[in-house]
Each structure stands twice: as structure tokens, then as C-alpha cells.
Structure 1
Amino acid sequence: MATKPEVTAFYDPRTFSIQYVVVDPETRHCAIIDPVLDFDEKSGSIATIRADELLSFLVEQGLTLQWILDTHPHADHLSAASYLKQKTGAPIAIGEKVRGVQELWRAIYNLPDFPADGSQWDRLFSDGETFKIGSIEARVMFSPGHTLASITYLVGDTAFIHDTLFMPDSGSARADFPGADSGQLWHSIQAILALPEETRLFVGHDYQPNGRQPLWETTVAEQRSKNTHIVNYPTKEQYVAARNARDATLPIPRLMLLALQVNMNGGRLPEPETNGMRYLRVPLGALPDANWD
């Protein structure tokens, strides 16, 4: 029987994101998955409120941080991976396909000298690669579609499935960003649904449909039987058609053009310029077909 790690979720209502602390109960070693750096785009202000909550939790629980993990370069929030590494010394990691995201977005941002080699992370995971969180074996499963670099972390009896599937009443993630593909997303979903039915699944976002309280934990069995997209669009052709039609109506996430230049750099903010200020770039006209709010 697979080991059952302790999982604590931290919900960020500003971005509807869920951060996770995953603990080996035997050794009290842990990993942080998808940490959020607070950012107010209206004022340009950065804060570390959410990330500091994670650090306080580690101290309160007597945990040793072993990994800081991102599932993909996020389009809707800034990653706090670099900040947490500075505070703890723990290594940061992501899937090796992040290089493709870097290549794509450095062209959009016109950053020809940006190193698109993944060197901003301490570890780039390949598909099927294993590592340890304490005594628990973790395995990486590539899950492209939402982004070309998306991965799932399988830790004991749990899977952290990022933005592939949401809670059953919310369906699945969009697949219309640069490098995304709805057909690939369908295959990634099928791979997740092929896991043992009792596998606990932890999602990357919850948008609280109909105003319900935020939720983040489900199971393979529940997703197979209740996920609105899986039940209503059971074939690849049906799913891809419905996903593409839905995505064609959605506006781009409000932080996407700001967040990706940070997140493709391992969560590092731009270096200060001569006046001591940091600046983010907004490529005007880079997504000409995007829907407006």
C-alpha cells in the first residue's frame, strides 16, 4: 500500500490558487508545491504574506523543507519559489520541458539573451523520474496540455495535478495559452484517471462555482464518475471540441503577461535598474486574438 503523506493546503483567494505542504509523517521532511508570491498589479506592489505563512507553518510543525516544487510556469500568479529558496536554502525544481516555455516566451518578451536552458532551477525533472520526500518516494508524470511544461507529482497515495483537472463541478483547465494543446490535455487527463481509483488528487486552483467554499481534494474515482467534462465529453473528439469552444470565449488571465516573465525565471524578479526600481515588461499586441474582459 502506498504511503500516505500529510497534506496541508493554503488557499489564496486573490488568485484562487492552492499552495501545498506535503509531509512525510515518519521523518517530518516536507516539500512545498506551487507557492504564491503576493502581487498587486494595480500598484506594482510585491509582498510575501502567503509564502511567510508557509514558513511559519514549517516552524510550528517542526518540519524540514526538502524541496520547493512548481508544477509549471504559472500564468495567474507569481511563484514564490525563489523567495523561499533564499529563506530556507531548499532546492527549487520543475519539469524539464520548461525549456520549451522559456524559448517561446523569451521571443514574446524579446529577450534574446535570456538563458532558456532551465538553469534557473536546481533540478529539472524528466518524465518518470523519482525522488524522495523524506522516506516517501515521489514520481514525476508529464501532464502537458494546459502548458507544454506541466507535470504531476505522485507522492505516495497522492497526486498533485496542478491545472489539468479541477474539482468535479469545475471540469478541467483551459488549453489555449501559447504552447498549450487540448488534445494533449485530454491524454494527460486520461493518464491521471488511469491511476488507482483511491488515489487522492489535489488541484491547483478552485474558482468556487456558485459561490461555494473553496475545495481542493478529490479522488480518481470521484473524477471518473462526477467530473463535468469527463462525464459530458467522454471521447477525445468531444472533449477537444468542447474545450476549444469554451476557451475561445475566455479572456486571458489578468496577470499572465506579468507573471510569466517572473515564473519562467524560477520566480526571480527582474534585477533593479539604475534607479533601484524593478520593472516588468508588457509586450503590446503579443496576443492580438485574445478576448477582452
Structure 2
Amino acid sequence: MWLVLLLALTAAGPEAADPAGLRALIAEDVRVARIGDRLARAGPCTATLSSPGLIVQDIVQYAPDLRAPARAALGLGDLPTIVAVLDGSAAAVAGLRPGDMLVAIDGAAVPPADKARGFDRMAGVEAQIEAALARGTLNLGLIRDGAALTVRIGATPGCRTRFQLQPGGRLNASADGVYVQVSGALAEFAATDDELALIIAHELAHNLLGHKARLDAAGVSRGLFAGLGKGASRVRATEEEADRWALYLMARAGFDIAAAPAFWERFGRRADPGIFSDGTHDGWRTRVAKAEAEIARIRALQAAGAPILP
């Protein structure tokens, strides 16, 4: 997410228990956050919220057998801890550092961790930060190297979406109106930042266009039953719209839209179910052709000096 990122490691695996593996996941988390934040700031969007550019972790997010490696690898304390600050962000300007522990948000204490594991405390922190940003300037009470201090963070507008890396081996990404989630496998599959920007921009477009709410209102099932009845065509329409919008979001943020056709081909050859498709997505050849046509339209807008809008 672009306010406070969560790396959802609640189940142990051999690579997750390795400190080097944890650091690699955080590096990929930062990559997702940085690209998502850049896309969110470029818009266009109607629902805006200031992004401080923090990546915060909480030790109780981790399964008990992962907590010692997480402390060692990421420097987590007993309170929610900043593990990364995005370059050029409001948090960076304010001087926040990895290792700072969050004590209070606009004078309200961070909720205690009253469970052995889970996201309850981070959900509370997240809500406090969003409420503070909605009011304007954010004041964070911190502990740094054992000393208490308060840091004020200025406002930076961006589209209202939280970007999140989800460890997992499937080539998967999703959007639910609030979050954009990208699996670790898909983030790794993206060979360049431009390719990852295409993935994130596609999911961000779903949120900006209210696709979840639209499909919910129409009673459209997703997942296992997505391909049944009229639902498939409705889901497919939102996917086509997200493909198209993704290119405009990329162009506005300064990413290379020329990466899209080759990515859709490479991704399609790896993941396209072919004749077993449920009809909710275009085949990769169609996606490539539509991307090439839309790129030509965007190039024409850029050449004319016109606004880059879908």
C-alpha cells in the first residue's frame, strides 16, 4: 500500500525464515511501493489522500517462528517499526529513518499488541494515519535509538490506494477497491520496473474506476464462478478497461508504455489458459494488439501536447 505497507508473512517457509530471504522480500516490497506511489501521484483520480511514503512492519504480523529472524533481518522492535522510507517522499523530507518505532499518531497512542499474531494493530495504525492525513499534516511520535521525538510530515496528494506485496508462488495480482496486491512471483516475473508498473497500473485502474463496486452491484461472482452466465462478459469489460487505463497511468507517470505488448505476450505464453479460458480476459494476442493500438493513440496525444487522458 502507499500509506503503510504490510508484508504479510504469517506462515513459515524455508526461504521466509532466512534473514537474507526476508531482506529480499522487503527490497521487492519497496519496489512495489515506489512504483505504486509514482503511479498514484500521477493520477488522474478523484479520491485523493496524502502519501507519507513509509514502509512499516509489525513483529506480530509474523508467525512466532519467524519473529527472531524478522528482528535480526529488519530491525523490528516491539512497536510498529519503519523498515524503509521511499526516496523523495514526504517521510524522507521529514527525516524519518528505518528503525524508527511508532508510538503515537497525532497524539493518539498506537494500539497495544493484544494478540500473539495478526494485523489488528497495523490496521489500527493504518486507520490512524489515514485519519490524520485526511485532516492535513501528520505528526508521528517516535522512538529512535531509545529517545522519544515527534516528526511532522507534510501532505503529498495521490490516488487513494494501498500497494502491497503478497508472498506467493502464483503469477497473480488483484485489486479490491482499497488495496492493490501483487504476488512475489509476479513481481519477480516483471523483468523491468516498466513491466511491474504495467501490472500495478492495471490493478490501480480497477480501483480508480470502481470496478469491484460495479461488479458487486451487478451481482457478478468472481473467482471460481467468474465464467458463468453474463458475469464473464462483465468481468471481461472491466479487464479490458483496466488494460487501456493502465497505459495512460504509465504514460502520465513517465514509465515506458512500449513495454506493454512484449510483456503481455511473455505473460500470456506463460499463463494464458487458451481453450480453457473462462472468458474473463482477452487472450494474449488480443491484449497485445489492443495495447499497440492504444500506445499509438497516446503517442499522438504526446506529440500534440494534449493531456494524457483515456
TM-score if structure 1 supplies the norm length?
0.31
- Mark the structure with the bigger radius of gyration: 2
Which has the larger share of helix? 2
**More strand per residue: 1 or 2?**
1
TM-score by length of 2: 0.30
